[in-house]
Structure 1
Amino acid sequence: MAELTPMMRQYMDVKEQNPDSLLFFRLGDFYEMFGADARTASQELDLALTTRDKDKTKAPEDKIPMCGIPYHSADAYIARLIAKGYKVSICEQTEDPALAKGLVQREVIRTVTPGTVLDDACLDAGRSNYLCGVYLSDTAAGLCACDVSTGQAHVTVFTGEQRITGLINELGRFAPAEAVMNAAAYDNAELAAALENRFACRRERLGDGQYDLRDAEKKVRTQFGEEALSRLPRNDAAPLLALGGLLTYLYETQKTDLKQLDKLEWYRTGQFMELDLAARRNLELTETLRSKEKKGSLLWVLDKTKTPMGARNLRTWLQQPLMNVAAIDRRLNAVAALVDNTMERQELRLAMTGMGDMERLMSRIVYGTAGARDLVSLRAALEHLPEVKRCLEPFSTGALAKLGEQLETLEDISGRIAATLVDEPPFSVREGGMIREGFDPEVDHLRTILTGGKGFIAELEAREKEKTGIRTLKVGYNKVFGYYIEVSNSFKEQVPEDYIRKQTLVNGERYITQELKDLEHEVLTAHDRDAALEYDLLTALRSDVAAQVTRVQLAASMIAQLDTLCAFAEVAAQNHYCRPDVDESGVIEIAAGRHPVVEKMRGDAFFVPNDTHMGAKEERVSIITGPNMA
């Protein structure tokens, strides 16, 4: 350790605190990796291995290997590592290298994992990305499923001898990318096999000391509020500890505000139809049994959504069918109203077309990783809301009327973004060019200097010629002296007293003045000052918008529901589906039924309808064959 440079000692100290992550260590314009991390990254990302060790007496294997990537393209590399199940800790410079005395301070600002990733390159817009917390005790299995990118969290518990089976079946609904587990859950062979083999889920073990009931209560109260905490059961600590462990993991890895995570749903088994893994697989709800593709599944037939929020909501509704007849009827009433009002339905679908992913954009804004383009994308999405609300006005009853009444247009937020940022900001947030002209007087002044710097110099030259009467006077610039005033020898006697001689030439003299030095400073530093000021204004805007996370997420949830209902209505209208009458008799009676997926897969071939009758106690099994399956 004594032979290491101060920078490498700093790296080793940070790496020691993050032993299970690949450490992206910021050096200038690159993220560098060293040692074992460099070897892993080189293999996984096809990067060339080099070394900083220039000692020619050392054998190659004794030198510390390194590899690096440009910081501005890190997202693509991180996405590839996350897809392969790695954790990536990002260690940034926390002070300006130009102002640092000695070694630049650095610290890990965030750890990216399969369950906490926010970048679009790592996420499927139509699928939620779940991080699960699992707590297993002798009598219960607590489960918390959280999508950090949308701010939704769901908590439930399973008890009795079949608790592991129930837990695994419910995990099938969420298909988590990562699971945070206590020791008992992590060591359970059946659970480990299901997570790794069926869901390709990364497992993270937390120590027993990170599962404390009082600490969990405090974190849940802080994150979701007292009312959400009161909904969790007090007679069984497993679900609360599962949620507490998950929050602990998020706080440790994200190291920032999680205020977008504000929706907590507590539910009991029986609230939705329970489907085991075999049933989900065989029913082909979201993917086919053989090829694991969307085409050929029920989701493929029904997905006519126009927004990413709607696509995710549709998948959720398919994976957790309602069991309450009243709730089913409310949903059917809304679909029927949309089917019956074709023009209004098409206007609604058109109003939602092209809406960006409000939920995930908002999460990046709250995290502080959003750039100007993300904020402009959010503004574009919000600008659809007034038209959506207008299109809901004809619906005066039911769920659609309620959505229309409660949907906020959020014009204050979209207007604030529009007033601050240009329509097409640059990718980088550190180079300026983001702030709209007229928003900030100082930015406008600096841009005038940047675009009109030569004009200022010409004006100064004209003023000095007029003031001194020296017709050969000229203002020039070089890298050694900066800006200067050059006077030929024949006019030296007319030089004013405030001119300071800087250089003597064969044919004349070069001078500077205080005004010229001030102007030089203005011109040469204008770009850096403009970039810094624009970044500060962007940061302030991002904080202001982040403070509105609850309002934006609520509007996004309403759009998701509306989009899903419109998709159901569109499919029903196109395929001539009829509304079912749902009751609690236990009898299934279908006349001239058509299988939605088989019919679509047959294309233009005629589908032969089938009648079906299945009773609550009799005729429980039917085997249907015939021309449709040929």
Structure 2
Amino acid sequence: MAELTPMKRQYNEIKEQHKDCLLFFRLGDFYEMFDEDAKIASKELDLALTTRDRSVSDPTLRTPMCGVPYHSSQAYIGKLIAKGYKVAICEQIEDPATAKGLVKRGVIRIVTPGTVTDAAMLEEGKSNYLCSIYYEPEEGKGGVAFCDISTGEFCVASYETDAVNHILNELGRFEPREVIMNKAAAETKRIPEFAAKRLHSMLEMGGKDYEFRDCSLRIRKQFDVQKLTEINMEGRPLAVCAAGALMKYLDETQKLDMGHIRSIEFLSEEKFMELDWATRRSLELTEAQRTGEKRGSLLWVLDKTRTPMGGRMLRSWIERPLLSPVAIKKRLSAVDELVKDNVTRGELIEAMRGIGDMQRLIGRVVYGTANGKDLVALAECARALPKLCELLKPFKSSALRQIAGMNQLEKIVMRVDWAICDDPPFSIREGGILRKGYSREVDRLRELRDNGAQAVAELEARERERTGIKKLKIGYNKVFGYYIDVPKSAGEVTLPEDYIRKQTLVSNERYFTQELKELENTLLNATDRIKQLEYEIFMEVCGKIAAFVGEVQDSADAVAQLDVLCSFAEVAVRNDYCMPEVDASGELIITEGRHPVVEQSVSDIMFVPNDTHLNGDTNRVAIVTGPNMAG
């Protein structure tokens, strides 16, 4: 076999460290794959398999390779992730112009099903969870953590008894795309089988990442606290171990700032109703049991949301029913007010139509993967908030009053309007992002780039006036660059001291000055300098906007709540629903009840309502028959 090139040796070294990933190795404008990775990518992405070893006579000894364009790589990565692969992104980590020898490369990120952030790979109305499970078999205890890194949502739970069943219920509720677990959890067989076969999750082993001391340190560092009590995690070692291992996995795979993960929610058994997998499927809460589609489910009936955040929150509310009558009444009071005010509800719904995915937009800003269009989209979202707050002023319910007090993010709108042009390009490295007037240096370079001849003519005029030589000219050729041409016909003249002789010809002398040299460098390098400077300034702008991550997330949460409440109100009006009386009596009384899904599914048949009376004593079971089941 032929001796390996330095580049191929570099590839092999990096691949050795990421054996479980397909390695996207950056070469110029392409990501290349070699050997077995190339064969897999060629098959899964329907790409041509090529080789650079055409001089090798034996085809079996040639190195197979295939590649995808850098600028369109996300689509290919998305396909591989959907097929269950992990992709390691290997980039140049030093400037090729200044590198000595082979350019250094390194893996900057590993994309997995549970760590996707690109909008094209995500379902707009559904969260994308990564899960971590910690289990202690001796006492049947365990903890679980869930994180959607695209939005920053982070939830944990712990169970002192019957942990396996509780964990299975949580897996059914969150449906994570990827699950990491300790050895004991994997050995239960029930947990990995349920995750892989029922949920089709990718499975990973967490190894030694579940040590309590290290996990506690990681959590306190991530959430910027000195003690676990500050985030309600003291005395919950099982949850700490699960959450800490999840953070370790994110650190190893993402290698970027996770500042948008700033709060942690503890899932209490007293706060939400826990439903097992079979019950969820039978109730058809978010998908029909026969088709697996949204149509035919409770979510299908109730979802009239206008924003991506609202769609995800509605799904979350359905999957995690509240247990507290007080909390339920708070929601109902808000819906009741919106039901009674058709005009304002319609204006609120209309105002929310143009609001994009604020949670994922600010996530990409903090993450460092946002582009100019993302910033403009975020500013457009923020621009709609003042009208929402104004429309909510007359309402009295506590939920709507809290929403009306959201931060309106005026500073983000001002910053983006000042810095970013109206229609920025998709790429952040090609220039054309900044608005005129934001950076004097960028404006100056653009002026030179677009009016270089004018700058040369102005310098020529100044030099003629300075020297008194009317026939002085500034010329250019590829060999010498820009030069000042002084004709010998000008006679004996005293030239300025900063004139440096460059070339002597029969009829003239050629000179240059430091000012001319600087202008030459500027003109020749203006475009490249503009691209680099705009990129640097754009990242600074992103940093300034990322500082508002907490405010954006809170406002996004407020908009999501309003969206869901308006959706409930809209459905209640359309379907003639009434507001229930909720208490802790343990008695269920429904008069002329109508099954919400069946009623919408049999619109061409007269629906017959039914009464229901159940309690925890004498009436525990009711068998409802008939053509529409009532509910």
User: TM-score normalised by the shorter chain: which range applies?
Assistant: over 0.9
2:367 and 2:428 map into 1 onto residues whose CA distance is: 16
Secondary structure of 2:142's match?
strand
1:145 aligned partner = 146
Deviation at 1:496, TM superposition (A): 7.9
CA distance in 2, matches of 1:422, 1:9: 44
Counterparts of 1:187 and 1:38, CA distance in 2: 34
What letter is aligned with 1:338? L
The alignment status of 1:346 with 2:346, answered yes or no, reads yes
Q: Could you tell me how far apart the structure 1 residues matched to 2:288 and 2:348 are?
A: 31
2-structure distance, mates of 1:150, 1:487: 66
Say which is worse superposed, 469-478 or 388-397, in terms of deviation. 469-478
SS in 1 for 2:264: strand
Note the C-alpha offset of 1:484: 4.8
User: Any conservation in 1 of the 2:231–2:264 contact (CA below 8 Å)?
Assistant: no
Mark the CA change 1:199 to 1:71 in structure 2 (over 3 Å): closer, same or farther. same
Contact 1:273 1:320 in 2 (8 A): yes
Q: Which residue of 1 aligns with 2:102?
A: 103
Q: Give the secondary-structure state (helix, strand or coil) at the position aligned to 1:628.
A: coil
Structure 1 residues 161-310: aligned runs within 5 Å: 162-207=162-207, 209-224=208-223, 225=225, 226=227, 231-232=232-233, 234=235, 237-310=237-310
Q: How far apart, in 2, do the equivalents of 1:177 and 1:503 lie?
A: 73
Letter of the structure 1 residue corresponding to residue 309 of structure 2? M
Q: Distance in 2 between matches of 1:54 and 1:493?
A: 66
**Alignment partner, residue 77 of structure 1:** 76
> What secondary structure is seen at the aligned counterpart in 2 of 1:447?
helix
The 8 Å contact of residues 210 and 241 in structure 2, kept in 1 or not, is answered as yes
TM-superposed CA distance for 1:535, in Å, is 1.0
What per-residue deviation string (whole Å, max 9, x for no partner) do you get for residues 457-476 of structure 1? 34445566777888887655
Which one is further off, 459-468 or 419-428? 459-468
Provide the residue aligned with 1:364 in structure 2. Answer: 364
**Are 2:156 and 2:264, in contact at CA under 8 Å, matched by a contact in 1?**
yes
- Alpha-carbon shift at residue 73 of structure 1 (Å): 1.0
Moved more, 98-107 or 465-474: 465-474
Question: Does the residue aligned with 1:127 lie in a helix, a strand or coil?
Answer: coil
Structure-1 separation of matches of 2:369 and 2:523: 31
Report deviation, 1:324: 1.0
Match of 2:41 in 1: 41
Post-superposition offset of 1:616: 2.6
Against the structure 1 CA distance between its residues 350 and 495, is the aligned structure 2 distance closer, same or farther, given a 3 Å change threshold? farther
Q: Residue by residue, what CA displacement relative to the aligned partner does 1:353-386 show, whole Å, maximum 9, x if unpaired?
A: 2111111111111111111221111111111111
Q: Is the 1:586–1:615 Cα contact (8 Å) retained in structure 2?
A: yes
* Letter aligned with residue 72 of structure 1: H
* TM-score, scaled relative to structure 2: 0.93
1:487 Cα offset (Å): 8.0
Match of 1:213, as an amino acid? F
Distance in 2 (alpha carbons) for counterparts of 1:555 and 1:382 = 9
Distance 1:440 1:167 in 2: 54
- Residue aligned with 1:294, SS: coil
Deviation at residue 429 of structure 1 after TM alignment: 0.9
| Alpha-carbon distance change, 620 to 487 in structure 1, aligned in 2, over 3 angstroms | same
Shift of the 45–510 alpha-carbon distance from structure 1 to 2, 3 Å rule, reads farther
Question: Match of 1:285, as an amino acid?
Answer: L
Kept after mapping to 2: 8 A contact 1:26/1:92: yes
Give the AA of the match of 2:148.
Answer: D
More divergent stretch after superposition (172-181 vs 514-523)? 514-523
Aligned AA for 2:109? R
The structure-2 alpha-carbon separation of the partners of 1:182 and 1:449, relative to structure 1 and needing over 3 Å to count, comes to same
User: Structure 1 residues 503, 371: CA separation in 2 closer, same or farther (over 3 Å shift)?
Assistant: farther
SS in 2 for 1:263: coil
**Alpha-carbon distance in 1 for matches of 2:465, 2:266:** 81
Q: What is the one-letter code of the residue matched to 2:577?
A: Y
Contact 1:501/1:509 (CA < 8 Å) preserved in 2? no
- How many positions carry a matched residue from both structures? 622
Distance 1:65-1:616 versus aligned 2 partners, 3 A rule? same
User: Residue 155 of structure 2 corresponds to which residue in structure 1?
Assistant: 154
- Deviation readout 1:564-603 (Å, 9 max, x if unpaired): 1111111111211100111222222212222211121223
CA apart distance, 1:76: 1.0
Q: How many angstroms apart in 1 are the aligned matches of 2:292 and 2:124?
A: 18
SS in 2 for 1:232: coil
Alignment of 1:475-514 (within 5 A): 476-484=475-483, 491=489, 498=499, 500=501, 502=503, 511-514=510-513
- RMSD over equivalenced CA pairs, Å: 2.5
Deviations along 1:129-158, one digit per CA (max 9) or x if unpaired, are: 010000111121211111111111111123
CA distance in structure 1 between the partners assigned to 2:487 and 2:479 by the alignment? 20
Shift of 1:553: 1.0
* 2:579 alignment partner AA: R
Q: Mapping of 1:202-601 within 5 angstroms?
A: 202-207=202-207, 209-224=208-223, 225=225, 226=227, 231-232=232-233, 234=235, 237-405=237-405, 407-461=406-460, 476-484=475-483, 491=489, 498=499, 500=501, 502=503, 511-514=510-513, 515-601=515-601
Report deviation, 1:501: 5.7
The answer for the alignment partner of 1:125 in structure 2 is: 124
What is the distance in 2 between the residues matched to 1:310 and 1:297? Answer: 17
Question: Which residue number corresponds to residue 116 of structure 1?
Answer: 115
Question: What does the per-residue CA deviation read over 1:18-37, in whole Å, with 9 as the maximum and x for residues that have no partner?
Answer: 11111111112111111111
Residue 433 of structure 1 aligns to a residue whose secondary structure is coil
Deviation at 1:254, TM superposition (A): 1.1
User: What is the distance in 1 between the residues matched to 2:81 and 2:481?
Assistant: 49
SS in 2 for 1:218: helix
Deviates more, 1:321-330 or 1:309-318: 321-330
The separation in 1 between residues aligned to 2:467 and 2:246, in whole angstroms, is 75
**Are the aligned partners of 1:286 and 1:300 in contact in 2 as well (CA < 8 Å)?**
yes
In structure 2, give the amino acid aligned to 1:143: V
Q: CA separation in 2, counterparts of 1:101 and 1:551?
A: 45
Distance in 1, Cα, partners of 2:71 & 2:505: 47
State TM-score, norm by structure 1.
Answer: 0.93
> What is the deviation of 1:619?
3.5
1:141 maps to amino acid: G
SS of the residue 2:451 aligns to? helix
User: Which blocks of at least 5 consecutive residues in structure 1 are unaligned?
Assistant: none
- Identity value in percent: 50
User: Given the superposition, is the C-alpha separation of residues 102 and 495 from structure 1 closer, same or farther in structure 2, using an over 3 Å criterion?
Assistant: farther
**Contact 1:228–1:264 (8 Å) recurs in 2:** no
Task: Tell me the alpha carbon deviations over residues 103-125 of structure 1, each in whole angstroms, 9 at most, x when there is no partner.
Answer: 11111111111111100011011
8 A contact 1:116–1:131 mirrored in 2? yes
